Amino acid sequence: MEKNDFERLKQSLKQMKQIEAGELKQGRIRIVNPENETSTARAKLGMTQEQFAKLIQTPVGTLRGWEQGRRTPPATAKVLMKIAIKHPDAVLDSIHP
């Protein structure tokens, strides 16, 4: 590994820790499959996978499977995602009154 690559990797890890601590705002939210309602709902809410998984009380690995199309969310989760896509403020208001 080149010295410059190692320094960039160290900087990335530092930024990751700052984002997790809320000290630095995330630059972007990566959507794996833009046609996927799970990814779309999460993006509309401006949440990370971890935050969205916690909101819907689902393991983050399960959420990733939904976003990557390896698994299908249950009907109840699909309803919440449809609401989040059409009315993201209502969902956010319900969790942060």
7 pLDDT more than 70:
yes
Same domain? 24 vs 43? no
Residues 42-49 have a mean pLDDT of 92
Show Cβ contacts of residue 64 under 8 Å, excluding neighbours closer than 6 positions: 49
Domain count, the chain: 2
Is the CB of residue 19 less than 8 Å from the CB of residue 48? no
What integer best gives the mean pLDDT of the chain? Answer: 86
The answer to whether residues 49 and 25 belong to one domain is no
Residues 22 and 43 in one domain: no
Range of the domain at 4: 1-29
Same domain, 76 and 63: yes
> Does the pLDDT at position 31 exceed 60?
no
Helix (H) or strand (E) holding 35: none
pTM of this structure: 0.62
The predicted pLDDT at position 33 comes to 57
User: What is the average pLDDT across 15-44?
Assistant: 80
